[in-house]
Each structure stands twice: as C-alpha cells, then as structure tokens.
Amino acid sequence: MIVAEQKHLEEIRRMIAPYDKVVILGCGTCMTVCDAGGEREVSFLHSALRLAQAKSGDGTHSFLEYTVKRQCDPEFIDLIADKVSEVDAILSLGCGIGVQALAERFPDMTVLPGVNTSFMGMAKESGVWDERCAACGDCRLEATAGICPITRCTKGILNGPCAGTKNGKCEASKDMDCAWILIYKRLERLQQLEKMRRYYPPRNFRAIPRPKRITSKISSTGEENG
C-alpha cells in the first residue's frame, strides 16, 4: 500500500489561510490503513484546526469533513461533487494521487495536500511501516530471494554489497539492514547463491517511460496521458 505522513498542523494552517470554507477529505484505503488520512484522522485534524483557530484568534474558517472510499478513483470522487460545490478549497488527506485525481475532476477548485506521500510499503509492526517497492517496472525479486535491492539498499545497486556494510547494517544508517547481506543470507538458505554470482546489467530506467501508464490488455480504452 501507499504510506504517508500527515503534514504539520502549522503548514496546513498556512495553506488553508486564504480559504474560508474548506472540506477536509479523507481516503478510505491506504491513508486509512497507515493512519495518515482516514476518517479518524479527518476528525482529529478538524478538531485540531478549530482548536488552533480558537486559541490563536487567527482565522475564521469553517470546515466540512468527509471521507471517500478511494480518492484515486473517479467513481468515488463523483459522489462528493455536491459537497465540493459548497467550499473554497479541498484539503485532501489522500496520497499525491488522490490530490491530483481531485484536481483533474474539479478544474476550478483549489486542492491542497494534507499529507506527505512517502513510499509503498508494508506494516512492520503496529504503527511502523517499511518501504518495500520502488515501482521500477522491471521486477528482479526472483534473483534476489524476494528482497528488493533497489528499494532496500540505499544505493540501489545490483551486483552485491558495497564495502560500507558493518554488523549487517547499512553505511547510511546503523538502524537499517544492509539489503545485500539479507539477500545473501536468504539465497544461501534457499541454496540459490548462484543467483548472486550472476552479473546483472544496469537498470533500464525506461522500462516504463515516465509518466508511466499501463493499459489493461483485457479492456483497452485510454486517452492522452496528461
């Protein structure tokens, strides 16, 4: 899933300053799971903004709150068209995709990002998420025992560890495992070390040219990508 962190309250307050009526719009999918922008966070943020406004005596905003199932899907965005017509700006707690989907759907409306979209990852433990995929478009996990060196090695290198690894950790951070040590150990365990001995050529950064688009092979519709 996509993982994000909510922006600091002060940054959000600066962004919404010019707008009287703002809808705080949550997203019911990834942002709910990573505690950054689901229904609960929308409600907390609403309270925090009102409290800050009351305390500082600065601002006369009124807020609506709403959470759609997925901000990245036009079908669900359409459901809030009426609400949007009542406000001056949307404060989206969706990921960067949600913000842009809203901006495309509502050409005359200001859409503000309430979270910093950070990475694609998984829940490691309660309240902790780790990045796991860089969406490079050229998956090589077969060769690396299911551990992604592009995502988990700070240098994203493909032919084994650099010399900076110490105690199984990365030179960039003592808290971060060296991806290549993990890969080596898991390949060894799976008796597939020959995969590490192969030479891997440089990445193809045009595996899917940016901005990337995938067209379903089952039902292909599709307009200009842009």
Partner 1 sequence: MAKSLFEEKLYSNKFLVTTEIGPPKGADVSEMIHHVDLLKDKVDAINVTDHQSSVMRFPSLGGCLSVQEHGGEPILQVTCRDRNRLAIQADLLLAYFRGIRNVLCLTGDSIDVGDHKEAKPVFDLDSVQLLKMIKAMESGTDMAGNELKGAPKFCIGASVHPEADFIEPQLVKFDKKVAAGAQFFQTQGIFDLGSLRRFMQYASQFNVKILAGIIVMSSARMARYMNDNVPGIIVPQAIIDELATAEKGKGLQKGIEVAARLIKTIKQESLCHGVHIMAVGNEGIVPDILEASELVTVGR
Residues that bind partner 1 (CB under 8 A): 154-168, 170-173, 180-181, 184, 193, 196-197, 199, 201-203, 205
Residue 166 pairs in a beta bridge with 169
Which CB atom, from 18 or from 201, has the smaller least distance to partner 1? 201
> Quick check: 126 and 140 in contact, CB under 8 A?
no
* DSSP code string of 33-99: HTTSSSHHHHHHHHHHHHHHHHHHT----EEEEEEES-TT-HHHHGGGHHHHTT-SEEEE-S-HHHH
Quote the least distance from Cβ 52 to partner 1, whole Å.
29
- Distance of alpha carbon 88 from alpha carbon 105, whole angstroms: 15
Q: How far is the CB of 158 from partner 1 (least distance, A)?
A: 6
Cα torsion 124, 126, 128, 129: sign: positive
Burial pattern 34-59, b for ≥16 Cβ within 10 A else e, equals bbbbbbebbeebbeebeeebeeeeee
Residue type at 122 in one-letter notation:
M
Smallest distance from partner 1 to CB 100, Å: 23
Maximum pairwise Cα distance, the chain? 67
Please say which residue, 45 or 196, places its beta carbon nearer to partner 1: 196
CB nearer partner 1, residue 112 or residue 178: 178
Minimum distance from CB of 181 to partner 1 (Å)?
6
Toward partner 1, which CB reaches closer, 163 or 218?
Answer: 163
Report the candidate in 104, 32, 23 with the shortest Cα–Cα distance to residue 66: 23
Closest separation between CB of residue 122 and partner 1, Å?
Answer: 23
Distance CA 22, CA 83 (A): 10
In this complex, which beta carbon is closest to partner 1, that of residue 100 or of residue 159? 159
- By beta-carbon proximity to partner 1, the closer residue of 63 and 184 is 184
In the complex, the smallest distance separating the C-beta of residue 112 from partner 1, rounded to whole angstroms, is 24
Cα separation values, 194 from 37, 99, 128, Å: 44, 45, 34
